[in-house]
Amino acid sequence: MTNQPALPELRVGVVGTGQRAGLAVLAEQPGSARVVSCADPSERGRADARTLFGPDARIHDRYEDMLTDDLDAVFVLTPDDLHTAPALYFLEAGVAVFVEKPLAVSLDDCDRVLAAAARTGTRLYVGHNLRHLPVLRTMRRLVDEGAIGTVRAVWCRHFVGHGGDYYFKDWHAERSRTTGLLLQKGAHDLDVIHWLAGGYARTVTALGDLAVYGTGPHRRTRPQGSERVQDWFDEGVWPPSALRDLNPVIDVEDISMVLTRLDNGVLTSYQQCHFTPDYWRNYTVIGDEGRIENLGDGVEGDAPSIKVWNRRRSGYRAEADLTLAPTEAADGSHGGADQALVDEFLRFVAHGGATETSPVAAREAVATGIAATTSLRSGGTPVEVPALDAHLVDYFARHQPGSRGPGTTRWERLIGDGQ
């Protein structure tokens, strides 16, 4: 047997070494991938990069300077409103790009990023890790197996029990930075709703309010600086009105309710509340032959169960016709979803092919979040979601067939040369 040459190690960069930098740490896989370059404009971010990725990683103030580090792929882990510029920069340079969700905070920026990926042939990946969450993957498998017949409705209740600490003490609380939490936080769930239902929202209506945190007098008076949620988070503070050091600007809603009709006729409901005492997601998928529901989601280390009622009619019964645990391991951050997400991205960079996540789906989640926010702020007026250009839908449906021009990475060149 002829010995095959070892595959070259992927050289990975990280733009933004703040709250989600731990995601890129999961890409440190000796022999397969290594983080060799980082950029962050803050002194704390650069110091954290040295701690996370060691003395051999090159650290920059500006992401533009990272191109000298001969990268194959880059993680864009900046705040949401700063995703677009570095994503476009590296796509144009032929460096595969991972963009943390949401893809962007405006639909125009989403479409610009997708168009650049298609035009250059550079691989684009968006970090919707819930598609790798074991409990949701099990629910999706049950849907695919026909356990409840044809899906007719999907409901999601998201109890954001730490919402005050996570989203109302920093830039997340400002419309100018996020559009709103139905986009910033809701993009996860809207993507999962679409995934479970097999379609994308086209008509959206929503209601919501800034019910709790908007009236809180305890605002931060000092500059935030480089503080992060772990610097102020205290699970013992209750009720939410007792929270201190809220962001000086709070103009996003803390409770919202969304109804949509998808392009395949499925009806959906999404409810998000940032002042509940518990923190988890509850999905219900209703078909014409039964329903599926999760109790617990595994994100915070709980042991979720999935229940299926599909054999007979009855009144309330806690004992479902089928109760099961997720069929995949749930170890690590976000129930193991983060590691699975990063592994899929690295495989996609090296080999291409189909992925569980989808740039088009990421765009549709943003589009739905924007439409819902627009509806909410206009008293519940129905809003139509604009469709993506057909040629981009087709390009990504074919799993981004790469070009040999600007999209050719160093790794691909080495493979082509037999190194």
Report helix, strand or coil for 280: strand
Residues 263-293: tens digit of each pLDDT: 999 999 999 999 999 999 999 999 999 999 9
* Nearest Cα residue to 274 out of 297, 252, 301: 252
Q: How many Cβ atoms from other residues are within 10 Å of residue 229's Cβ?
A: 15
State the pLDDT confidence band at 408, using cuts at 50, 70 and 90.
Answer: low
Measured at the alpha carbon of residue 222, what is the angle toward residues 221 and 224, in degrees to the nearest 5?
Answer: 120
Burial class of residue 235, CB neighbours in 10 A (0-12, 13-18, 19+): exposed
The first and second tokens of residue 406, run together, are: 């600007």
Q: For residue range 290-326, what is the model confidence (pLDDT) as tens digits?
A: 999 999 999 888 899 999 999 999 999 999 999 999 9
What is the per-residue pLDDT across 91-146, written as a single tens digit (0 to 9) for each? 999 999 999 999 999 999 999 999 999 999 999 999 999 999 999 999 999 999 99
For residues 415 and 419, what is the distance between their CA atoms, to the nearest angstrom? 6
The answer to whether 250 and 210 have CB atoms below 8 angstroms apart is: yes
Amino acid at site 186: G
Residue 383 has φ and ψ, to the nearest 5°, of -125, 135
Question: What would the two tokens of residue 102 be?
Answer: 């949401």
Residue 6 pLDDT grade (very low, low, confident, very high; cuts 50, 70, 90): low
Q: Is 267 left (phi over 0), alpha (psi -120 to 50) or beta?
A: beta
Side chain identity, residue 102: P
**DSSP string computed for 84-153:** HHHHHHHHHTT-EEEEESSS-SSHHHHHHHHHHHHHHT--EEEE-GGGG-HHHHHHHHHHHTTTTSSEEE
> Rounded distance, CA 300 to CA 162, Å?
11
pTM score of the predicted model: 0.94
